Amino acid sequence: MLVKQGTKNIPILMYHSISQSAESADPGFKALCVPPALFAAQVDYLYRSGYTILNVTQLINALAGKALLPERPVVLTFDDGYADFYDHALPVLSRYHLTATLYIATGFVERTSLWLRWKEETGHPILTWDQIVEISNSGIECGAHTQSHPKLHRLPLATARDEIRCSKDLLEQYLGREVTSFAYPYGGYSSGVRRLVKEAGFTSACAVNDAMCSDKADPFTLDRLMVTPNMDMNAFGALFTQKEPSQLRKIYMSARIPVRQALLHGFGIAVLRRNMGLFLMRR
Ligand SMILES: [Zn+2]
């Protein structure tokens, strides 16, 4: 963990699904699932340890001097918009009156996570618009995560711009409020993509990198720490001082296949299966 001298560490935690993954689930998806009881224990730990939990825009406002930065800030983020956020994360956050940022791939709302169709997986349920409105009204920040969850840095810039702007516009249409935070799918971006996000009117964007953020960070490439599925409280506490990228990050970055791009380029499921086979051979 390289943090400049004189900077303040700010952990931004990254979750995906809060669920007990099925034994038969794809290993790539299992790596994204934190069991509900474990999540509840982690939130309780943060609360009792004196952390102040912020959403991403609250952090950005504090870093810009528009609000006070708490002594021990932690930011909670949830990527993709899985329906289990409503069932398992929202009740816990509401119990403690906590906020978080939920990043939604808007093209899959009320459907399933098509982009995760590895092998025989059929996708996982994504929130409905009614649930997203309720979540937003409960004090959770809803951020954009593109329309179709592509690797933005591999798209033509005009297509990437549409992905970024459409997700923002659609969320704002349903929520009736400005959407100011963005998360790059797969954590992938380029200088051009970063510029597009800024031009679209966002004030922040989260990457992945599995690293500690700091108060000197670029608001458009915020590092996050990945929460692994089986962290006990000791491991969870150690997350805030980790020095090496976790194994989970390595799996995450290599396993997720850009389904949309493959389909756009005329490849079929056979190609996706072959890619998955190559991934399994590499591990
Ligand atoms: Zn995602």
pLDDT recorded at residue 262: 33
Residue 282 within any structural domain of the chain: no
The tens digit of pLDDT for each residue in 202-254 reads: 999 999 988 899 999 999 999 999 998 988 888 998 887 655 445 445 444 44
Residue 3 within any structural domain of the chain: no
Do residues 86 and 133 lie in contact, with contact meaning Cβ atoms separated by under 8 Å?
Answer: no
Structure tokens given for 150: 């592509």
Q: How far apart are CA 240 and CA 226, in angstroms?
A: 10
Helix (H/G/I), strand (E/B), else coil: 79: strand
Rounded distance from Cα 5 to ligand 1 centre (Å): 32
Residue 1 within any structural domain of the chain: no
- C-alpha dihedral sign at 55, 61, 63, 66: negative
pLDDT recorded at residue 5: 53
pLDDT recorded at residue 255: 42
Structure tokens given for 211: 């690293």
Rounded distance from Cα 16 to ligand 1 centre (Å): 8
Residue 279 within any structural domain of the chain: no
The tens digit of pLDDT for each residue in 52-105 reads: 999 999 999 999 999 999 999 999 999 999 999 999 999 999 999 999 999 999
The tens digit of pLDDT for each residue in 178-203 reads: 999 999 999 999 999 999 999 999 99
Which amino acid is present at 32? Answer: L
Q: Which ranges in 19-108 belong to alpha helices (H)? A: 27-30, 36-48, 56-63, 84, 90-95
Rounded distance from Cα 185 to ligand 1 centre (Å): 4
> Could you tell me the CATH number of the domain that includes residue 49?
3.20.20.370
Rounded distance from Cα 6 to ligand 1 centre (Å): 32
Mean pLDDT over 30-44 rounds to: 94
Q: Which stretch, 45-49, 116-120, 229-233, 256-260, has highest mean pLDDT?
A: 45-49
Do residues 207 and 190 lie in contact, with contact meaning Cβ atoms separated by under 8 Å?
Answer: no
The number of folded domains in the chain is 1
Range of the domain at 33: 9-255
Q: How distant, in Å, are the alpha carbons of 17, 90, 174, 191 from that of 21?
A: 9, 18, 30, 36
Structure tokens given for 277: 């086979």
Residue 205 within any structural domain of the chain: yes
Residue 223 within any structural domain of the chain: yes
Residue 111 within any structural domain of the chain: yes
Rounded distance from Cα 274 to ligand 1 centre (Å): 22
Question: Which of 15-19, 23-27, 77-81, 195-199 shows the lowest mean pLDDT across its residues?
Answer: 23-27
Give residue 29's pLDDT band: very low, low, confident or very high (50, 70, 90). Answer: confident
Partners of 222 in beta bridges? 206
Residue 219 within any structural domain of the chain: yes
